[in-house]
Amino acid sequence: MSADLINSVITQGQRLATHSWEYGTFAEALLEWDNPKSSVFGSNSFPDGKVPVLQVANTRSLSYVKPHISTSGDTLVDGDGAAGDPASLGVSAILIGQTQPEYLSAAERQVEHLLTAVPKYSNGAISHRESVAELWADFVYMAPPTLAYWAIQSNNATLLSIAIQQCVLYRDVLGVPKNDKSAGGLWHHIIGPQSQDLGIWSTGNGWAAAGMSRVYATAKKSHFANDGKIKSGLSELKGIIKSILDGAIARDNAEPNEPLLRNYLNDTTWFGELSGTTILTATAYRMAKLEPADFGKSYTSWADSKRQIIVGKINSDGLLSPVINPLNWNDRTPATESPEAQSFAVLMFAAYQDFTSSS
């Protein structure tokens, strides 16, 4: 894992990001890599119980993302019809807002928009789309981490509980029952009237598990961690993340001749690809560091083997391939460029570095 390799992966990630969720995910990846102590996974996530103060000019993550954040609207960026994606910039906006108040106000409007203006599914889950109640696994990486981070900013245990509960409500709709032998514990991609995709998309499962790991870390490292409702929410969240990882690892172990997770995890007609494999590997390391008693050797050994395979598939330009076309998850032609795959690799390197630094 040479510095040159990681730098080239980062360079390509910055070049490729052009959509709202890509900006937010790349900014998060840079924060976790460059400023690990200040990310929600870090040793000093919330100094004195508060959001850390970072100097924007000296923090690559924040100086990168700042031009992409709007401080004038109800959302942080144009989501092109998505309600969840603009919220992916929320943590960045809150961090910038510690020294530039207009960004804090923008983050607050984004949170209010999610809570009050976006349609809700019948069970109360906030829609991933602005125009119709529709649940996408992707949402869990975009919005709940921002709700949880704003809960720390505003010292609001109720909002932190809502952030956790949104993850649970998403699982209640998208989760496959555990007694389903082919995909128990994993998630469908999309349920709703317009874009429904009942497939078990590996990247979608990765978005969900990684998003929940961020919410989990935020709550666990907050001064609300021992609050009864938060404590029980953390326990539930941990179980949901475990179920996704268990399901992915089981599908992987069932196919010893395919080194990568398939684009749709329970469909062997799909190619193995790097996006889903990489973000789920990153999540295994994160949970192993956060909860070593529950995510022990079987998880870290699996993550180690995947990481080695992933690194071997990064070309000399720093690009990960094969990857799924991030704008068309039904594209049967393996793609050679994916902005989110680049970010996922940086998230994996950061998670691995964090895991090995004290274990």
CATH dotted code for 3-357: 1.50.10.10
Task: Note the pLDDT tens digit of each residue in 172-211.
Answer: 999 999 888 889 999 999 999 999 999 999 999 999 999 9
Contacts of 326 (CB under 8 A, 6+ apart): 203, 275, 335, 338, 339, 340, 341
The residues spanned by each domain of the chain are: 3-357
Per-residue pLDDT at 358: 63
Is the pLDDT at 359 greater than 70? The verdict is no
Per-residue pLDDT at 182: 84
Per-residue pLDDT at 173: 98
Half-sphere exposure of 50 (CA within 13 A, CB side): 6
Which tokens go with 241?
Answer: 């993340």
Task: Note the pLDDT tens digit of each residue in 250-266.
Answer: 999 999 999 999 999 99
For range 233-259, the mean pLDDT: 97
- Angle value at C-alpha 266, between 145 and 81, nearest 5 degrees: 40
DSSP string, 251-288: HHHT-TT--S-BSBTT-TTSPB-HHHHHHHHHHHHHHH
